[in-house]
Amino acid sequence: MTEWVTRLAKRITPTARLERAATTRQKRLLVHELLSLQIFITFSIGALAIAGLYWGGQWVLQDSYARWAKQWTEELNELGAPLYLPRDGEVLLRLESFIAKYPEISRVAYYGAGGAQLMSISNPDNAASEAAALDDESLQNLTALMDSDAPYVIERDILRGTAFTMSAPIWTEALLDDGLFDLDATTISDSAKSLTGFVVLELDYGLFQENLVRRLKTAIMVLVALLLATVIVGRRYLLRALSSIADLQEPLSEIAKGNLDVEFKPAEHHEISEIVEALKTTASALGERDAKLLEHANHDALTGLFNRRRFIEELREEVRAVAANDYRSALLLIDLDQFKYVNDTCGHPAGDRMLQAVAEQLKTSVGDDAVTARFGGDEFVVLASGISERETRVLAATIVEDMRRLVHHEDDKVFHIHCSVGVTMIRSAKFTPDELISQADIACREAKASGRNKFKAYNIGERESEQMAADVSWVQLLRGALDTDSFLLRYQPIVKVKTGATGHHEVLLRLGMPDGKTIGPDAFLPAAVRFGLMSEIDTWVVRHAIRALAKYQIDDPGLRFTINLSANAFETGHLAPLVRDELKAHGVAAEHVIFEITESLAARHLRHVESEITTLRKMGCRFALDDFGTGYSAFSYLRELTVDYIKIDGSFIRGLVNNTLDQKVVRMIGEIGREADIKTIAEYVQNAAVFGMLARLGIDYAQGNYIGKPTARPVMRTMPIPIDSRRNQNRKREA
């Protein structure tokens, strides 16, 4: 159990963990990404605000420059008007006083109507260059401004971005044909303009702009400080808000590893709290599911005992413990006697109830210290740790006696339960769990063979140990072949002696090996019989042979198969239902199937075999009795068994040509067959001489390597018959 729980808890392999860790390192953390996003947004907004503040200030500044320049020009026009009148000594004083108030004004220059400079005043705080007289082009352009809506022009110094020059004409204007006190509204627009001169105003806002930039820097520093404060405070609150999500990382990682016993920290937010509750519910449901899976994986669903897989693990651990601590343990295999009759009489539900009663009694008999399991069907196993051979015999006798006293009631029927027990001791790690189970199984079969309702202990010698190891290897191969369909079917023709035409094919079993080789049944069937696999092998052969017959009948509708059955096929009681279901499922007529049983099988299980044969014959199947003639009472079986064919044992056929006694026996079998209306088949026909003699002895069919070797698919063929046989047939037809 410890190993299983460990595997369950470590469902993620080390490789998978490394891959997951690498993937985790590659993925971004949500908290870091949200914080980065917050910082990016904050600084983006701050940068946009600073850029907007700067460019907005520049735009406002430029607009203010233009408005101020216009306003100053108009004022300077008024202040400079006396220059164009008789000399006024106070003009210069007023102009200097005006310029002093505005440090942005670099210089003011007045020009006459002809472009000559009348006066130029510079601001002592803002040095300006002396200006020359206006050229003709400038005079012409400035004069034209008298009739425009904006009577001034502003020029910006490209090299000095903060320097501007504003030029404007100065003129006088008088009303026409109107008296001072007798105004007519319709004539107000009529006036006479007279150019007086020009004024040029040079401005430099460098100092003003320096002050503005200095203030902007201060504002930017304040804004950056506010942004940093926002980032710090926002990060703190964001981490606090996301801490509930971060707290889920470790519990989720533990759940992914298979550890469902995790603690979740309480969440402050409603949404995260709902997620936590959902995760708790999920972890609880997974825990319950894993507990159920563990229960099903380790226990038999019917009896509640350990199952076969779990018991093998316990046995493996016990073998290690025995080897490490130098003590002895015992393995007991319990097989119920005649259990199948309960199923046959009262049905499988009654058999299930009986198994449950047996399980309860077995747990009582062996106690809580022993490991008890249902090994399969009506077999149980017990592992008793730290027990001597004498105590083991006492325990086995107790199990047999307790089972003998157990009475099971089913409706109006009473069943007395008996069992056979096989015992083997565990002394070291010399034998594997499979070998120990095989030893207990052999001992149990000996108990059954010696009269049932008793126990037997397994005793093993060196030579037997080697044989058992070989048998265990065969068992593993056979079990793998059953699980993976590695068995192969081969087909050997059986021909009519008189015509040479193929009558039917015998289905032969082979074991396919990983290297591509095939092994005949003589090599592996003895081990299959000893270890109880023949019933499963018989089932496999019946199913696949009928399916193959359906496949090959597409090309040859008259094809018939002979299928060999062992004694185990008749012990389960499932043979007839299996054949019926397979024939119906694949659309095969029962008349095309011939089941072959051995004479020795008929001798040991005559009544039971006859019952099964009767059921299958009613379905339409036919039967052949194999190895006929080897037993002392072979001919008496023909009165008890209803068969359609008898196969003469090969010992009478091999030396048939040179042995007159064998010829007489074969002739007698042929005559008995004709009297009983049973067809006869001669096996092991190896040459033409034997084949020719069979016709003279009155045998109906022949089979052997001379007739045809086993092939991967059935082949319909016609054998050439001897000339004398052909002549005899012609004489009979002519007569």
pLDDT for 698-715, tens place per residue? 999 999 999 999 999 999
Is 90 exceeded by the pLDDT of residue 385? yes
pLDDT given for residue 645 in this prediction: 94
pLDDT for 313-371, tens place per residue? 999 999 999 989 889 999 999 988 767 667 766 777 888 888 999 999 999 999 888 99
Question: Is there a contact between 443 and 361 (Cβ–Cβ < 8 Å)?
Answer: no
φ and ψ at residue 351, rounded to 5 degrees: -60, -40
Residue at 718 is within a domain: yes
Residue at 540 is within a domain: yes
- In a shared domain, residues 590 and 548: yes
pLDDT for 127-136, tens place per residue? 555 666 788 8
- In a shared domain, residues 126 and 138: yes
Cβ atoms < 10 Å from Cβ of 356: 15
Residue at 697 is within a domain: yes
Encoded tokens for 528: 């299959």
| Rounded Cα distance, 390 and 328, in Å | 12
pLDDT given for residue 8 in this prediction: 36
Q: What is the DSSP letter of 201?
A: E
- In a shared domain, residues 701 and 719: yes
**Model-level pTM?**
0.46
pLDDT given for residue 3 in this prediction: 43
Is 50 exceeded by the pLDDT of residue 437? yes
Residues in contact with 127: Cβ distance below 8 Å, sequence separation at least 6, in sequence order: 106
pLDDT given for residue 110 in this prediction: 82
| Overall average pLDDT of the 498-522 stretch | 90
pLDDT given for residue 709 in this prediction: 92
Judging by DSSP bridges, how do beta strands 379-384 and 329-336 pair with one another? antiparallel
| 256-260, 495-499, 590-594, 663-667: segment of lowest average pLDDT | 256-260
φ and ψ at residue 681, rounded to 5 degrees: -130, 130
- In a shared domain, residues 383 and 499: no
Residue at 245 is within a domain: no
- In a shared domain, residues 632 and 609: yes
Encoded tokens for 583: 């024939």
Q: Residue 172: which CATH number? A: 3.30.450.30
What is the number of structural domains in the chain? 4
Is 90 exceeded by the pLDDT of residue 204? no
Cα distances (Å, whole numbers) of residue 137 to 166, 202, 514: 16, 19, 111
- In a shared domain, residues 494 and 420: no
Cα distances (Å, whole numbers) of residue 624 to 82, 108, 646, 679: 152, 140, 5, 9
Residue type, 139: L
Q: In terms of residue numbers, what domain contains 289?
A: 2-29+254-296
pLDDT for 229-264, tens place per residue? 877 877 777 777 667 777 777 777 777 766 767 777
Q: Residue 346: which CATH number? A: 3.30.70.270
Last residue within a domain, chosen from 460, 494, 520? 460
Residue at 435 is within a domain: yes
- In a shared domain, residues 522 and 656: yes
| Overall average pLDDT of the 45-65 stretch | 71
| Rounded Cα distance, 23 and 4, in Å | 28
- In a shared domain, residues 581 and 716: yes
User: CA dihedral defined by 436, 440, 441, 444, rounded to 10 degrees?
Assistant: 180
pLDDT given for residue 463 in this prediction: 47
- In a shared domain, residues 661 and 673: yes
- In a shared domain, residues 724 and 706: yes
Torsion region of 708: left, alpha or beta (phi above 0 gives left; psi -120 to 50 gives alpha): left
* Nearest C-alpha neighbor of 546 from the set 586, 512, 509, 580: 586
- In a shared domain, residues 446 and 306: yes
* Sign of the dihedral through C-alpha 285, 289, 295, 300: positive
| 174-178, 192-196, 373-377: segment of lowest average pLDDT | 174-178
Residue at 698 is within a domain: yes
Residue at 50 is within a domain: no
Question: Is there a contact between 474 and 524 (Cβ–Cβ < 8 Å)?
Answer: yes
pLDDT given for residue 372 in this prediction: 94
Q: Residue 604: which CATH number? A: 3.20.20.450
Question: Is there a contact between 702 and 681 (Cβ–Cβ < 8 Å)?
Answer: yes
User: CA dihedral defined by 700, 704, 707, 710, rounded to 10 degrees?
Assistant: 130
Question: Is there a contact between 342 and 351 (Cβ–Cβ < 8 Å)?
Answer: yes
pLDDT given for residue 478 in this prediction: 86
- In a shared domain, residues 614 and 516: yes
Question: Is there a contact between 357 and 408 (Cβ–Cβ < 8 Å)?
Answer: yes
Residue type, 16: A
Is 60 exceeded by the pLDDT of residue 461? no
